[in-house]
Amino acid sequence: MGDVDEANSAIGVALVHISDPQHRAMLASIQNELFDLGADLATPGDDFTPSDMTLRVTVAQVGRLEREIDTMNAQLEPLTSFILPGGGAGSAHLHLARAIVRRAERAAAQAAHIMNLNPHALAYMNRLSDHLFVLARLAAKSEGGDLLWQPGATR
C-alpha cells in the first residue's frame, strides 16, 4: 500500500508539469482510483464484489485504462526502440510514476501468494503502468519527442 501511495504522489508531481486538460483529467481519475486500490489491497478476502462497506477495483476501471491506452497509442508512432525515461519534465515524472507502479505491482503479486487479493486490483496496476508509459510518450511528443535507447552508444 505504501508503494501505491508513493505512485499517487509521483503522479501528483507529474501533474504539476502536465498542461493538457484531457491528460490532467485522466491522471486525476487515476489518483482517486489509487485510493480505492489501496483500500482494496488493505482488505484481502474471498469476495471481491464492491459494496458500501468495501471498496474494490472493478473490471470496468481496468477496461477504461485499456481504452485510454488504445486512444493514446493511436496518436503515437510505433515503437522502434526502447525509450529512455525523460523527454521533458512531464514525461520524465510520468516515467518515474510508472516505475513506482511496477514496484507496487511486484509487491502485490508477492503478497497474493500469501493472501487472497482482488485479481482486478492486480490487473489495474499492470494496465496502469502501461497507461503511464503511453501517456509519458504522448507528453514527450509535445516536449520534443521520445528519448530513444542507443544500444552500445558509449562503447
Summarised one tens digit per residue, pLDDT across range 93-137 is 999 999 999 999 999 999 999 999 999 999 999 999 999 999 999
Residue 131 lies in a domain: yes
- pLDDT confidence of 52, banded at 50, 70, 90? confident
| Cβ-contact 127, 69 below 8 angstroms | yes
Read off the CATH number of the domain in which 79 is found: 1.20.1200.10
Residue 66's domain comprises 2-42+56-146
In a domain, 132, yes or no: yes
Would you say residue 16 lies in a domain? yes
Q: What is the pTM of this model?
A: 0.93
In a domain, 155, yes or no: no
Q: Check residues 37 and 47 and name the one with the higher pLDDT.
A: 37
In a domain, 47, yes or no: no
In a domain, 51, yes or no: no
pLDDT score, position 70: 97
Instruction: Look at residue 92 and tell me if it is in a domain.
Output: yes
Question: What is the pLDDT averaged over residues 84-90?
Answer: 90
Domains of the chain: total: 1
Q: What is the predicted pLDDT for the residue at 51?
A: 77
Burial of 124 (C-beta count, 10 Å sphere; 0-12/13-18/19+): buried
| 154 occurs within a structural domain | no
Task: For residue 84, give the H/E element and its range.
Answer: strand 83-84
Is residue 39 within 8 Å of 55, Cβ to Cβ? yes
Q: Which residues contact 143 (CB under 8 A, 6 or more apart)?
A: 87, 88, 89, 90, 91
What's the average model confidence in pLDDT over 35-42? 94
